[in-house]
Amino acid sequence: MAHVSIPEIPLAERKTFSLGEAAGLTGLCVSTLYNLMGDGRLQTIKVGGRRLVTREALDALLGASDADVTTTGLKSLSPKRVRRS
């Protein structure tokens, strides 16, 4: 079987991102993205076994105004407090 090389598509031209890539682009952690998915605030698509975030979904998430974020109680975007013993 021959090895096929697929050229890398620049981020600016990509239409979908893995959850890890979306986390890197937004500055959020992957677990926060999963929380947002569970709350219905981040739409994703499933292709085979992969969960992908579309550019439109990221734009919609990042386009939310600060008022929207605070009134919807998006506590998962805040840094987590560490319990010290």
How confident is the model at residue 64, as a pLDDT? 61
Domain that holds residue 22: 14-68
Residue matched to tokens 């605030």: 41
What is the tally of structural domains in the chain? Answer: 1
Kindly state whether residue 27 falls inside one of the protein's structural domains: yes
How confident is the model at residue 71, as a pLDDT? 36
Kindly state whether residue 3 falls inside one of the protein's structural domains: no
Q: What is the CATH number of the domain that holds 27?
A: 1.10.10
Kindly report the average pLDDT of the chain as a whole number: 78
Kindly state whether residue 81 falls inside one of the protein's structural domains: no
Task: Please tell me the pTM assigned to this model.
Answer: 0.65
- Longest alpha-carbon distance in the chain: 57
Kindly state whether residue 61 falls inside one of the protein's structural domains: yes
